């Protein structure tokens, strides 16, 4: 089947403004980019930070990716994130009253036809890898609660309910920000999953694993994840994007 993706988003059951978004696109038939973003600071009738982030990311990568060499892809992702961060920060400076909190999380994965990947991360959206029946979290949340977990001041059981789990220590829209970027390799039959916190705060790993074990359709898996999150409360916006590594 080759490079592929499917994404789905939903406002959830308790929010009035949609600030989560996903994107997927293929450059030069050789590199797939998938990403999610969770915006902050939008008001009705204003720009939404996550949409700005993903639109600018696609525009930049489409213009600058010339090959499927992942060293080059990593460098261009780094440049794109720097540029996008400045754009959001300039929104804040240009109109503090309207865009004073204009910011966003960002998690992206680039995949080439050799199943090599680069992934970049800022905030508390997440990249998961589903492999051989198990779900692995590949990114670490940039939150105050995660810092407490790293210091062993709280444990894994306390973390999902900690009041600071949504207090970001890194996000796009800061004066300066350094993303986490890493490379790796996928295997045939892996599944790449990117989600915003509206998913993992509603569904645990075992529930998501069950979804993947009961369907091989990225469309159905996305829909089931969104439906599942809404069925147990849908307290936040939801964005999901999936790529099946079936080549």
Q: Where are the alpha helices (H) located in 9-124, listed in sequence order?
A: 49-64, 70-94, 96-99
Query: Does residue 181 contact residue 119 with C-beta atoms inside 8 Å?
Result: yes
Query: Does residue 231 contact residue 207 with C-beta atoms inside 8 Å?
Result: no
Confidence of residue 45 (pLDDT cuts 50, 70, 90): low
Rounded to two decimals, what is the model's pTM?
0.96
**Tokens (6 digits) for 215:** 């369907």
- Per-residue pLDDT tens for 81-116? 999 999 999 999 999 988 999 999 999 999 999 999
Q: Which helix (H) or strand (E) holds 104?
A: strand 103-104
Query: Does residue 230 contact residue 10 with C-beta atoms inside 8 Å?
Result: yes
- Per-residue pLDDT tens for 127-147? 999 999 999 999 999 999 999
Query: How much of the chain exceeds pLDDT 90, in percent?
Result: 92
């Amino acid at each position: 089947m080759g490079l592929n993706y499917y994404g789905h988003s939903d406002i959830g059951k308790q929010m009035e403004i949609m600030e989560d978004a996903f994107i997927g696109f293929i450059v030069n038939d050789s590199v797939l980019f998938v990403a999610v973003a969770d915006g902050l600071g939008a008001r009705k009738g204003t720009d939404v930070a996550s949409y700005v982030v993903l639109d600018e990311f696609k525009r930049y990568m489409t213009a600058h990716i010339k090959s499927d060499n992942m060293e080059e892809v990593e460098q261009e992702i780094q440049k794109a994130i720097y540029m996008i961060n400045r754009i959001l920060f300039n929104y804040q400076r240009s109109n503090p009253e309207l865009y004073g909190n204009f910011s966003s999380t960002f998690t992206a994965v680039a995949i080439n036809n050799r199943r090599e990947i680069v992934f970049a991360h800022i905030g508390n959206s997440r990249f998961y890898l589903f492999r051989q029946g198990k779900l692995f979290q590949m990114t670490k949340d940039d939150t105050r609660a995660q810092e407490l977990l790293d210091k062993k001041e709280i444990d894994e059981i306390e973390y999902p309910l900690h009041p600071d789990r949504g207090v970001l220590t890194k996000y796009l829209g800061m004066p300066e920000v350094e993303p986490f970027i890493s490379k790796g390799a996928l295997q045939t039959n892996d599944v790449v999953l990117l989600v915003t916190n509206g998913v993992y705060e509603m569904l645990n790993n075992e529930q998501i694993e069950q979804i993947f074990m009961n369907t091989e359709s990225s469309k159905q898996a996305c829909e089931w994840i969104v439906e599942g999150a809404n069925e147990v409360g849908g307290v936040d916006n939801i964005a999901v994007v999936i790529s099946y590594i079936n080549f």
